[in-house]
Chains A and B, each alone.
Chain A
């Protein structure tokens, strides 16, 4: 997947002048679109997001409605229980969509929390430097060594399983790497020649940050965000699997998988479908993340 230029591009390069400058992002988009796995994942993820957020409104079964006479039906087209029904007699397709919606929301929101903390922390440490940088990064080192999942478990037990807390708790755990990435990038950029050149040319501080620092920090951050979302989804599912995540009537994929694992001897489809949905979702995020990394930071390959 090396970056070979097409004949047209080569001609443009030969002719030199009058070539429209291509930004980092144009290049990245071109490279990303050449990555079939990533493009396919983006499309598939779009479908999943649509299903998760619009699907429950359109689907004929309500995710919470209990069909007393249809407990643990195997998948069937009769009455459109295409994923079957669960131990309470609820439509599993509707529940899977709602669970997926919850998992996606947790993934995105908790990642945003980690992004906010990580970028602020890392950028401050990187920009200010010196003693403060040392101190802040020591703190990150110390926090790294903490088995966080235990604290999240304690948090969930202590403060009840409320959904906001899940967002914050998981987000608060995942910001460390983000902080390191942003700090490293900021420090590297501060000393870059093109930043100095911009200074020398009399470009203002704010413009430098806007034109040079932000776009260059953004690349690795975007990549890391895409790769953090599946990690967060996994973390929430892990908690839900232990019975510590979101609670009824809300549900998440982890919850459904946990219930499915409990009932798998009688109704294995209650395990298969949520598990499959989760796997597909995680695959999508991973392929997109890998694709973005290759696209934005090609030297890393």
Chain B
């Protein structure tokens, strides 16, 4: 196990390095720069600004400067917001994105597990067909369709919930999070209930479940204490990809519901050529995805004694 963790970390390091390097050079090759304004500024001022951000040096030197600072945990200043560091911008946006993401995945795991289990236990009944139909629809319809439609019906027509934005004074209030969280969770609920249904069907046919039934355990005990434990394993290994999907999905959700999260900042920064903010967000996301994948795999190993990681 420690060897496995070590190996995974050894793969993760070059991965992150590749990501940083590619993103760095890709941004710099871009035509246009962060200091392009409507009106061209005098050349001297431009030179001074470039020098102030160390951008007058050769690009390779800039790269090493950036990496040097990064190793010390410094993501640099934002090139667009003069008074903010990248760390500040991330600190503003990340709590919003993280809250929505965490709530969504919790909701998705909870509802998806229940729906999938019910479908499996009532296989080939209307309940099962309902879940399967829901899962098919949920996987196919993208968040950028569900989001606006939910905002339109529940937010505008029915007026039950606000359709977007956060109140700057109140911040994240529950009624403003409900629609974004549901929108982000729907595809995951669909995928998880499908996974859960398939694995539960397999598990309840296995011998040890028959044994548990035969020794007279109640149906509830058989399901909750025996079947669920192993049926949930595929779900655990799906959590890695799920977190990646949630991070990507949040870009759209934040756009649809105009939430001041990190995904929206990323798109804005990319359009504005705010190199350092783009880099900061990419590094954050890449690290998150890699770490979450690792956690999901380790969790899988812990929960499933059959798995042994060895070379």
| B residues less than 8 Å from A237 (CB atoms) | 142, 144
Contact with B along A247-289 (1 / 0, CB 8 A): 0000000100110110011001001000100110011001000
Select which of A138, A157, A159, A268 is within 8 A of B270 by beta carbon.
A157
Interface centre among A157, A260, A275, A279 (most CB of B within 10 A): A157
Indicate if the CB atoms of B18 and A275 lie closer than 8 Å. Answer: no
Identity of the chain A residue whose Cβ is nearest the Cβ of B248 in the assembled complex:
A149
B302 interface residue (CB < 8 Å to A) = no
Indicate if the CB atoms of B267 and A154 lie closer than 8 Å. Answer: no
Indicate if the CB atoms of B286 and A286 lie closer than 8 Å. Answer: no
Select which of A157, A254, A265 is within 8 A of B152 by beta carbon.
A265
A265 vs B151: C-alpha distance in the bound complex, in angstroms? Answer: 10
Interface SS, A side = helix
Q: What's the minimum C-beta distance from B108 to chain A, rounded to whole angstroms?
A: 19
Indicate if the CB atoms of A147 and B145 lie closer than 8 Å. Answer: no
Chain A contacts with B in 110-153, Cβ cutoff 8 A: 138, 141-142, 145-147, 149-151, 153
A237 vs B145: C-alpha distance in the bound complex, in angstroms? Answer: 10
Q: How many residues of B contact A (CB 8 A)?
A: 46
| B residues less than 8 Å from A151 (CB atoms) | 22-23, 26
B251 interface residue (CB < 8 Å to A) = yes
Indicate if the CB atoms of B152 and A271 lie closer than 8 Å. Answer: yes
B9 interface residue (CB < 8 Å to A) = no
Identity of the chain B residue whose Cβ is nearest the Cβ of A279 in the assembled complex:
B141
Q: What's the minimum C-beta distance from B250 to chain A, rounded to whole angstroms?
A: 11
- Given the interface contacts A142-B14, A146-B19, does A242 sit within 8 Å of B267 by beta carbon? yes
Q: What's the minimum C-beta distance from A279 to chain B, rounded to whole angstroms?
A: 6
A83 interface residue (CB < 8 Å to B) = no
Contact with A along B110-152 (1 / 0, CB 8 A): 0000000000000000000000000010011110110111011
- Given the interface contacts A145-B290, A147-B248, A286-B136, does A275 sit within 8 Å of B282 by beta carbon? no
A103 vs B136: C-alpha distance in the bound complex, in angstroms? Answer: 21
Indicate if the CB atoms of B286 and A146 lie closer than 8 Å. Answer: yes
Identity of the chain B residue whose Cβ is nearest the Cβ of A156 in the assembled complex:
B270
A155 interface residue (CB < 8 Å to B) = yes
Indicate if the CB atoms of A153 and B15 lie closer than 8 Å. Answer: no
Indicate if the CB atoms of A257 and B148 lie closer than 8 Å. Answer: yes
Q: How many residues of A contact B (CB 8 A)?
A: 37
Indicate if the CB atoms of B267 and A153 lie closer than 8 Å. Answer: yes
Select which of A141, A147, A261, A268 is within 8 A of B11 by beta carbon.
A141
Q: What's the minimum C-beta distance from B272 to chain A, rounded to whole angstroms?
A: 9
Indicate if the CB atoms of B140 and A279 lie closer than 8 Å. Answer: yes
A230 interface residue (CB < 8 Å to B) = yes
A147 vs B16: C-alpha distance in the bound complex, in angstroms? Answer: 11
A241 interface residue (CB < 8 Å to B) = yes
Indicate if the CB atoms of A242 and B252 lie closer than 8 Å. Answer: yes
Indicate if the CB atoms of A241 and B255 lie closer than 8 Å. Answer: yes
Indicate if the CB atoms of B247 and A147 lie closer than 8 Å. Answer: yes
Q: What's the minimum C-beta distance from A142 to chain B, rounded to whole angstroms?
A: 5
Contact with A along B81-117 (1 / 0, CB 8 A): 0000000000000000000000000000000000000
| B residues less than 8 Å from A154 (CB atoms) | 23, 26-27, 270, 278, 282
- Given the interface contacts A151-B22, A242-B251, does A145 sit within 8 Å of B289 by beta carbon? yes
Contact with A along B264-288 (1 / 0, CB 8 A): 0011001101000010011001100
A181 interface residue (CB < 8 Å to B) = no
B303 interface residue (CB < 8 Å to A) = no
| A residues less than 8 Å from B286 (CB atoms) | 145-147
Indicate if the CB atoms of A261 and B140 lie closer than 8 Å. Answer: no
Contact with A along B132-176 (1 / 0, CB 8 A): 000010011110110111011000100000000000000000000
Indicate if the CB atoms of B23 and A150 lie closer than 8 Å. Answer: yes
Contact with B along A208-219 (1 / 0, CB 8 A): 000000000000
Indicate if the CB atoms of B140 and A157 lie closer than 8 Å. Answer: no
B256 interface residue (CB < 8 Å to A) = yes
| B residues less than 8 Å from A282 (CB atoms) | 140-141
Q: What's the minimum C-beta distance from B97 to chain A, rounded to whole angstroms?
A: 13
| A residues less than 8 Å from B282 (CB atoms) | 147, 150, 154
| B residues less than 8 Å from A147 (CB atoms) | 19, 244, 247-248, 282, 285-286, 289
A234 vs B139: C-alpha distance in the bound complex, in angstroms? Answer: 11
| A residues less than 8 Å from B144 (CB atoms) | 237-238, 241, 254, 257-258, 261
Interface centre among A147, A151, A257 (most CB of B within 10 A): A147
| A residues less than 8 Å from B147 (CB atoms) | 261
A230 vs B26: C-alpha distance in the bound complex, in angstroms? Answer: 28
| A residues less than 8 Å from B3 (CB atoms) | none
Interface centre among A154, A258, A264 (most CB of B within 10 A): A154
A138 vs B18: C-alpha distance in the bound complex, in angstroms? Answer: 13
| B residues less than 8 Å from A141 (CB atoms) | 11
Identity of the chain A residue whose Cβ is nearest the Cβ of B288 in the assembled complex:
A147
Select which of B15, B30, B136, B248 is within 8 A of A145 by beta carbon.
B15
A209 vs B139: C-alpha distance in the bound complex, in angstroms? Answer: 37
Kindly list the 8 A-B residue pairs having the minimum CB-CB distance in the complex, ordered from nearest.
A261-B148, A158-B30, A241-B144, A157-B270, A275-B145, A282-B140, A145-B15, A142-B15
- Extra contacts besides A145-B293, A151-B23, A157-B270 (7): CB < 8 Å: A154-B23, A157-B30, A158-B27, A234-B142, A244-B267, A261-B148, A283-B140
13 contacts between A and B (CB under 8 A): A146-B15, A147-B286, A153-B270, A154-B26, A157-B270, A158-B27, A238-B252, A242-B255, A242-B267, A257-B145, A261-B148, A264-B151, A271-B152
Q: Which residues of A contact B (CB under 8 A)?
A: 138, 141-142, 145-147, 149-151, 153-155, 157-159, 230, 234, 237-238, 241-242, 244, 254, 257-258, 260-261, 264-265, 268, 271, 275, 278-279, 282-283, 286
